[in-house]
Amino acid sequence: MTAPILTINGLTKAYPGVVANDDVSFSVGRGEVHALLGENGAGKSTLVKMIYGLVKPDSGSMTFADAPFAPSSPQEARSTGIAMVFQHFSLFEALNVAENVALGMENPPPMRELATRIREVSDTYGLPLDPNRMVGDLSAGERQRVEIIRCLLQDPKLLIMDEPTSVLTPQEVDILFQTLRKLQSEGTSILYISHKLEEIRSLCEGATILRLGKVVGSCDPREKSARELAEMMVGTELKTPTSAAHEPGPVALEVSGLTVRPASPFGTVLKDVSFSVREGEILGIGGVAGNGQDELLGALSGEMLSEDDAVKLEGKPIGRLGPNLRRGIGLQAAPEERLGHAAAPDMSLIENAVLSARVRQNLDRNGFIDWRKARDFAEQVIEAFDVRTPGPGNAARALSGGNLQKFVIGREILQSPKVFVVNQPTWGVDASAAASIRQAILDLAVAGSAVVVISQDLDELMEISDLFAALNEGRLSDPRPARGLTIDEIGLMMGGAHGMEVAHV
Amino acid sequence: MEFGSINPVLLVASLMVASTPILLAAIGELIAEKSGVLNLGVEGMMIVGAVTGFIVAVQTGSPFLGFVAAAAGAAVLAFLFAVLVLFFLSNQVATGLGLTLFGLGISALMGQGYVGIRPPASPRWDFFGLSELPVVGPILFNQHPLVYLSLILVAATWYVLRSTRMGLVLRAVGESHDAAHALGYSVHGTRIAAILFGGACAGLGGAFLSLVIVPQWTDGMTAGRGWIALAIVVFASWRPWRVLLGAYLFGGVTVLQLNLQAAGIAIPVELLSMSPYLITILVLVIISSDRNRAALNAPASLGRAFHASH
């Protein structure tokens, strides 16, 4: 390998109360695919933001293509030859594809010319895209194509990809990897951020591992096992969640022909969704983000009403009941968005406990809240689920993502629901907290509850579900036993490659 | 060409004049809202523009300087709003309402010595005698320069938003400030510029009222026109040409009902007086009744505070 394209020397960035990056050094070779590994909060995002000119380092230096490099803005980074695909999309829903691409370029050609070039490049790399479509109407996979094409049009020397595959089906991941390998063969270096270890093992040639803002190691991921990589990231041994043997009981939740329209113009319509879950069973629902997950959770929790018969709890139709009535008869739900949906950010944990558990735990009397009981219940949740917080009086906002997630899930589980529906139970949660949340879900099923887990993390679903089904454009595939499903089969259930093709040439 | 005592040519010519303050204020607010800022202080900025323009025009004897001062004065007020909302992250709705109250108060204070004075008349442009042409003459070639400016602004706003990079960045900032920031566009810079533009336009509209339409200074003379401008922007689904339609409709009904009152039609005066507000809002509600399409054009970040978090 020749001289590295990007060298990072002792970069440090501190925020009030936390050192995001502490003396980080590594380098990316020319034409190398280099992985940046680490748990949430390890400092990966801050690091790439410094490379992309969004954040100024407190100290340390970088060189890019043999010249000192200290970008003061993303514009400067782009004109030096760095392009970035963001984790949370940096797209504008109400603008069309060409306009979105133009916004990410320094000197975009006139719109008509740009549209032609988008067609050319998208054809060459097998990422078909219509420049005139509104981004809000595109699927998650298609949106990512917009981001990638925006980068490719600038002929970058270094492409930064922040968690690019979290929204793709396995087939789409395959095609993305072929595109990346083609780029690599053309001499482009790629800095690849992910916590999906198998992907990194198949794609990357070098890896730098971050933990709590520090570089804790580097390795060739092809020579390590996924478990070894994970333990380097976490720094301890990992426990695998286990489930005691048990027999499923009668059907607890039955959904038949559920059709629901979303409230927002860019939402997904649920079309004729049917499934049933028995007591003690866990149904895992996979699928790429934006294919109806939020709507399905809303329709099950009671936030969105449906035909009375479409949702049945223990044979009783509940489609027209609101969330509190459903909680009362034993259907609990934990939505994906922790702050603002599952919990009110500025209210204390006690108040947040009351909001969900008032009915089932009798936390009120004659319209007045029984604060002592409420505090006891909140403390019970904190204790049972190992939520790290100074006390139940703390605001939900003050908790870290993983701790709040444990609280939110614990709050529902401790009400011993007959049916528990959860969306993205371990999203943005560190590995050890994720393992304990999965264990709690397994234990709940063993205790006889029916559980529906909606998640985009296929490994998670394979680990805990008895049945697997996939959402694709608002339709649900027939549930199949999770044991023995191959990644290919799962990918096809999720809708396959959504019209993507393998890179031409 | 006469219907009773109402002359349609004069009606059209005068509706253009009557509509111009609202049109100017609305086009300014459209730009501000497209950048994602909801400034409810239009009424306050208009009246501050009205009084500043009036004072400067009376003192200097130059209506032109009056208009310049009106734009500047209202822009200063808008800058205050920008600082509070963008840097101190104050609530946009509350701050905008405060701005209106503040503007009404300070304008009354500033204008104390100026009640009952006549401002210098501003010249009309006469296009080489074209104004003598029948029908089109009085409508197209005998208007105040600001009427032409307001029409040019509508066309320019439409063109800039649709086809220029500047307009694209403005729309992007209003659509998702987080994404715009991640791509390296200055959210605050764009919004300050948009708010100042909105203020200057509102100020011009106010001065057109006090220097040309009335022409006199009285307390609270904008009489809710700023609020109508705000309503027009929303019901026009943030489209410049519909803003023009809404503003001219409002101005048209205003002039028509005055004529009807003068003609002694047997409709209660109260009903006639409220008709411009009712009819304008009714028509625009019907136009924007397709809620999904209207939502598509609405700036998604409208009214949300932006705080760069890294």
Torsion angles phi and psi, residue A407, rounded to 5 = -65, -45
Identical fold for domains A6-234 and A251-493, yes or no, is yes
Q: pLDDT of B144-173, one tens digit each?
A: 889 999 999 999 999 999 989 999 999 999
Give residue A167's pLDDT band: very low, low, confident or very high (50, 70, 90): low
pLDDT above 50 for A488: yes
Q: Is A225 left (phi over 0), alpha (psi -120 to 50) or beta?
A: beta
Task: Provide the pLDDT for residue B68.
Answer: 96
**Which three-class secondary structure state does DSSP give residue B129?**
coil
CB neighbours (10 Å) of residue A193? 22
**Domain residue extents for chain A:** 6-234, 251-493
> CA nearest B75: which of B159, B180, B193, B161?
B193
Mean pLDDT of chain B: 88
Nearest by CB: A92 against B165, B179, B184: B179
- CATH for the stretch B8-121+142-297: 1.10.3470
Q: Which two tokens stand for residue B131?
A: 């104004």
> CA nearest A273: which of A283, A281, A263?
A283
The reply to whether residue A53 touches residue B184, judged by beta carbons under 8 angstroms, is yes
Q: pLDDT of A48-70, one tens digit each?
A: 889 999 889 999 999 998 889 99
Class of domain A251-493: alpha beta
Task: Provide the pLDDT for residue B102.
Answer: 96
Q: What percent of chain A has pLDDT over 70?
A: 95
Buried b (16+ CB within 10 A) or exposed e, A166-187: bbbbbbbbbbbbbbbebbbeee
Cβ-based contacts of A92 with chain B (< 8 Å):
171-172, 175-176, 179-180
B295 to chain A: nearest residue by CA?
A: A265
Kindly tell me the burial class for residue B4, based on how many C-beta atoms sit within 10 Å of its own C-beta (0-12, 13-18, 19 or more): exposed
Find out whether A378 and A349 touch, Cβ atoms under 8 Å: yes
Find out whether B1 and B7 touch, Cβ atoms under 8 Å: yes
The answer to whether B179 faces chain A, any CB pair under 8 Å, is yes
pLDDT above 60 for A502: no
Task: Provide the pLDDT for residue B310.
Answer: 44
Find out whether A231 and A237 touch, Cβ atoms under 8 Å: yes
pLDDT, average across residues B233-243? 89
The answer to whether B265 faces chain A, any CB pair under 8 Å, is no
pLDDT, average across residues A204-209? 90
pLDDT, average across residues B236-241? 90
The reply to whether residue A53 touches residue B171, judged by beta carbons under 8 angstroms, is no
The answer to whether A265 faces chain B, any CB pair under 8 Å, is yes
> CA nearest A385: which of A305, A441, A428, A346?
A441
> Distance from B149 to chain A by nearest Cα, in Å?
29
Q: pLDDT of B194-229, one tens digit each?
A: 999 999 999 999 999 999 998 899 999 998 899 999
The reply to whether residue B184 touches residue A54, judged by beta carbons under 8 angstroms, is yes
Q: Is B308 left (phi over 0), alpha (psi -120 to 50) or beta?
A: beta
B309 to chain A: nearest residue by CA?
A: A55
Task: Provide the pLDDT for residue A467.
Answer: 92
Dihedral sign of CA atoms A499, A483, A419, A313 in order: positive
The answer to whether B219 faces chain A, any CB pair under 8 Å, is no
Cβ-based contacts of B300 with chain A (< 8 Å):
93-94
- Across A9-18, A255-264, A407-416, the highest mean pLDDT is recorded for A407-416
The reply to whether residue B183 touches residue A104, judged by beta carbons under 8 angstroms, is yes
Q: Which two tokens stand for residue B162?
A: 């649709």
DSSP state of A239: P
Q: pLDDT of B75-126, one tens digit each?
A: 999 999 999 999 998 999 999 999 999 999 999 999 998 988 888 887 776 6
**Domain residue extents for chain B:** 8-121+142-297
pLDDT above 70 for B27: yes
B180 to chain A: nearest residue by CA?
A: A90
Cβ-based contacts of B180 with chain A (< 8 Å):
92, 103
Strand partners, B84: none
Task: Provide the pLDDT for residue B309.
Answer: 56
Nearest by CB: A54 against B165, B182, B297: B182
Mean pLDDT of chain A: 86
The answer to whether B169 faces chain A, any CB pair under 8 Å, is yes
Nearest by CB: A95 against B175, B178, B183: B175
> CA nearest B96: which of B111, B114, B110, B84?
B84
Q: What percent of chain B has pLDDT over 90?
A: 55
- Across A438-442, A466-470, B197-201, the highest mean pLDDT is recorded for B197-201
The reply to whether residue A93 touches residue B300, judged by beta carbons under 8 angstroms, is yes
pLDDT, average across residues A208-232? 85
Q: pLDDT of A224-267, one tens digit each?
A: 887 788 888 877 776 777 777 788 889 999 999 999 888 776 77
Q: Which two tokens stand for residue B117?
A: 């004075």
The answer to whether B309 faces chain A, any CB pair under 8 Å, is no
> CA nearest A304: which of A264, A339, A358, A265?
A264
Give residue A469's pLDDT band: very low, low, confident or very high (50, 70, 90): very high
The answer to whether A15 faces chain B, any CB pair under 8 Å, is yes
Q: pLDDT of A305-325, one tens digit each?
A: 999 899 999 999 999 999 999
B176 to chain A: nearest residue by CA?
A: A92
DSSP state of A110: P
pLDDT above 90 for A401: no
pLDDT, average across residues B55-59? 95
Nearest by CB: B168 against A46, A102, A134: A102
How far apart (Å, rounded) are the C-alpha atoms in residues B166 and B177?
Answer: 15
Residue A412 contacts by C-beta under 8 Å, 6 or more apart in sequence? A332, A333, A334, A356, A420, A422
Torsion angles phi and psi, residue A489, rounded to 5 = -60, -45
CB neighbours (10 Å) of residue A289? 17
Q: Of A166-170, A324-328, A495-499, B285-289, where does mean pLDDT reach its minimum? A: A495-499
Q: Write down the architecture of domain A6-234 according to CATH.
A: 3-Layer(aba) Sandwich (3.40)
Cβ-based contacts of A86 with chain B (< 8 Å):
182
**Which three-class secondary structure state does DSSP give residue A12?**
strand
How far apart (Å, rounded) are the C-alpha atoms in residues A102 and B168?
Answer: 9
A72 to chain B: nearest residue by CA?
A: B184
